[in-house]
Amino acid sequence: MIRVDNLVKNYGDVKAVRDISFQVNDGEILGFLGENGAGKSTTLKVITGYLSPTEGNVIVDDLNILDNSLEIRRRVGYLPELNPLYGEMMVYDLLEFTAQIRDIQGAEFRRALDRVVDQCGLSGVIHREIRACSKGYKQRIGLATAMLHDPDILILDEPTVGLDPNQIVEIRELVKGLGKEKTLIISSHILQEIEATVDRIIIIHSGEIVADGTSGELLSSLRGNTQLTLEVKQAGDESVQQLSTRFEGVALLTDVAENGNRVLTLEYDRTIDPREDVFHFAKESGWVILEMSQARVQLEEVFRNLTLEGAVHA
């Protein structure tokens, strides 16, 4: 269990994190989402004990970061942003070096090595120079070093940055597998890259939490979030006017002439579905329906709404 309590972190005059609180339960995969500069890395560095908080505290299991920073580091695996690696080293040597720092030796090291090579799919590159490995492999190597001491908690700061779409899918699958056993926090500034992987999403903006929930919960917090687009022929002004007031909770958003036809956009709450009524109305009014399509607002829109400049901060 990780609990962040009223965390504040300033760098001199820069208020990077402004009084945030949240909890991550055992076995949960949390997506920590925010634009560049939102305060993600700063928060993660405090949780992992690499920075001390200006105010507030972080509790990991029965320990807190002010008094037990070293012990917390033993329980947490941390893949920093940009994943700095020594390019000229062999993958094996890096893992051995990391194990030495963590005081993992002999048979214990060989067991740990087998485990991370297996978990991170490194058997093909173990005797290769790190700089000769692809970016996707470099991320897996970073992950392996973060997991050598078999921590219950893994914190990955933007693990998909700079990867191509195939590599992103690979890392996503890897992370999903790890999430079955561990508590995970994964940060990203790109919603789509974590949406499918995580159980819950926290959105941070200018150092404050602006949303916390499952993707379904975040979506339903938006109102009027389903749109129906209709392209119709033979629709007169009067009947279009009628449609705009005919159904409770259904608003006519736009009415555009296109190639002699009319394209109408209706908007309504995601809890109702007026498509059948609209169809019958169109038929009674003598319209010819050329196209009718319903689009739900995507999570991306929630993110954009919440992080629009000036949207928060009262």
Ligand X SMILES: Nc1ncnc2c1ncn2[C@@H]1O[C@H](COP(=O)(O)OP(=O)(O)O)[C@@H](O)[C@H]1O
Where on the chain is the footprint of Mg ion (CB under 5 A)?
Answer: 40-41, 81
Which residues of the chain form contacts with ligand X (CB under 6 A)?
A: 11, 14, 16, 34, 36-42
Choice between 156 and 232, CB closer to Mg ion: 156
Task: Measure the N-to-C terminal CA separation of the chain; round to a whole number of Å.
Answer: 32
Partner interacting with residue 159 (select from ligand X, Mg ion, none; CB below 5-8 Å by kind): none
Partner interacting with residue 31 (select from ligand X, Mg ion, none; CB below 5-8 Å by kind): none
Partner interacting with residue 42 (select from ligand X, Mg ion, none; CB below 5-8 Å by kind): ligand X
State the residue number with the nearest CB to Mg ion.
41
Partner interacting with residue 122 (select from Mg ion, ligand X, none; CB below 5-8 Å by kind): none
Strand pairing report for 226-233 and 261-268:
antiparallel
Q: Each residue of 276-306: b (16+ CB within 10 Å) or e?
A: eebeebbeebebeeeeeeeeebebeebbeeb
Label residue 177 exposed, middle or buried (CB < 10 Å: 0-12, 13-18, 19+): exposed
In the bound complex, what is the minimum distance in angstroms from residue 157's beta carbon to ligand X? 7
In the bound complex, what is the minimum distance in angstroms from residue 277's beta carbon to Mg ion? 48
Tell me how many degrees the CA angle 194-142-111 measures, rounded to the nearest 5: 115
In the bound complex, what is the minimum distance in angstroms from residue 211's beta carbon to Mg ion? 18
Partner interacting with residue 16 (select from Mg ion, ligand X, none; CB below 5-8 Å by kind): ligand X
In the bound complex, what is the minimum distance in angstroms from residue 34's beta carbon to ligand X? 5
Report the amino acid identity of residue 180.
Answer: K
271 is written with which tokens? 């809890």
Q: Which of 197, 203, 200, 199 is nearest to 171 (CA)?
A: 197
Choice between 42 and 83, CB closer to ligand X: 42
In the bound complex, what is the minimum distance in angstroms from residue 269's beta carbon to Mg ion? 36
Length of the chain: 314
Choice between 24 and 278, CB closer to ligand X: 24
Residues in a beta bridge with 76: 153
Choice between 81 and 208, CB closer to Mg ion: 81
Choice between 36 and 166, CB closer to Mg ion: 36
Partner interacting with residue 34 (select from ligand X, Mg ion, none; CB below 5-8 Å by kind): ligand X
Contacts of 258 (CB under 8 A, 6+ apart): 231
Residues in a beta bridge with 63: 60
Partner interacting with residue 272 (select from ligand X, Mg ion, none; CB below 5-8 Å by kind): none
Choice between 117 and 175, CB closer to Mg ion: 175
In the bound complex, what is the minimum distance in angstroms from residue 18's beta carbon to ligand X? 11
Distance CA 112, CA 127 (A): 17
Choice between 34 and 151, CB closer to ligand X: 34
Choice between 20 and 104, CB closer to ligand X: 20
Partner interacting with residue 277 (select from Mg ion, ligand X, none; CB below 5-8 Å by kind): none
In the bound complex, what is the minimum distance in angstroms from residue 254's beta carbon to ligand X? 36
Report the amino acid identity of residue 89.
Answer: M
133 is written with which tokens? 């490995």
In the bound complex, what is the minimum distance in angstroms from residue 158's beta carbon to Mg ion? 6
5 is written with which tokens? 């309590």
Sheet of 63-64, strand order? 14-24, 2-11, 55-60, 63-64
Distance CA 68, CA 76 (A): 12
Report residue 61 CA to chain centroid gap.
24
